[in-house]
């Protein structure tokens, strides 16, 4: 991996690691944590952003405090596999706020979808009122997550 004109080094990794822990750090705080001058740290951070290694900054919302205490993993098989069908299905999934992640996958099913819902009643509503209204679904299988063992918002550096 490289930033614009140079390979990623340990200083870049330190910056990314600290920003993963707390993206609200001021540049001065970040520079102090990684042992750099504020100017050098600011330049490095901008290079990481411009190169696309740092794609953005987000607020992590607690889904349980929003009343969405359950996470469900859904495997979906579509009737057809033409590019247009896959594209349309992906676009419609992206519009559903309950969908946290959606992957086109290999194997027995076509998609793996992670959703946040409020209990079994909320899940039933999601299926009937949203997911099953998307044309082309042949079969689905669902699994409720009992406990999350690890969840990170992006790859560790």
Domains of the chain: 10-51 (1.10.10.10), 64-145 (3.30.70.920)
pLDDT tens digits, one per residue of 6-23: 899 999 999 999 999 999
Reported as a pLDDT band with limits 50, 70 and 90, residue 156 is: confident
pLDDT on residue 137: 96
pTM, to two decimals: 0.85
The pLDDT of residue 41 is above 70: yes
Dihedral angle computed from the Cα positions of residues 103, 105, 109 and 111, in that order, rounded to the nearest 10 degrees: 10
Burial 113-149 (b: 16+ CB within 10 A, else e): bebbbbeeebbeebbeebbeebebbeeeeeeeeeeee
pLDDT tens digits, one per residue of 68-89: 999 999 999 999 999 999 999 9
Cα of 30 vs its chain's centroid, Å: 24
């Amino acid at each position: 991996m490289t930033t614009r004109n140079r390979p990623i080094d340990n200083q870049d990794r330190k910056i990314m690691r600290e920003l993963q822990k707390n993206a609200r750090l001021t540049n001065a705080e970040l520079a102090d944590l990684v042992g750099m001058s504020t100017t050098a740290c600011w330049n490095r951070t901008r290079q990481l952003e411009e190169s696309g290694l740092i794609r953005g900054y987000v607020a992590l919302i607690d889904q349980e405090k929003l009343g969405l205490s359950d996470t469900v993993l859904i495997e979906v098989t579509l009737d057809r596999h033409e590019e247009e069908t896959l594209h349309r299905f992906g676009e419609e999934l992206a519009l559903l706020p309950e969908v946290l992640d959606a992957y086109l996958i290999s194997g027995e099913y076509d998609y793996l979808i992670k959703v946040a819902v409020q209990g079994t009643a909320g899940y039933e509503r999601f299926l009937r009122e949203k997911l099953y209204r998307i044309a082309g679904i042949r079969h689905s299988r669902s699994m409720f997550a009992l406990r999350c063992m690890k969840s990170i918002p992006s790859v560790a550096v």
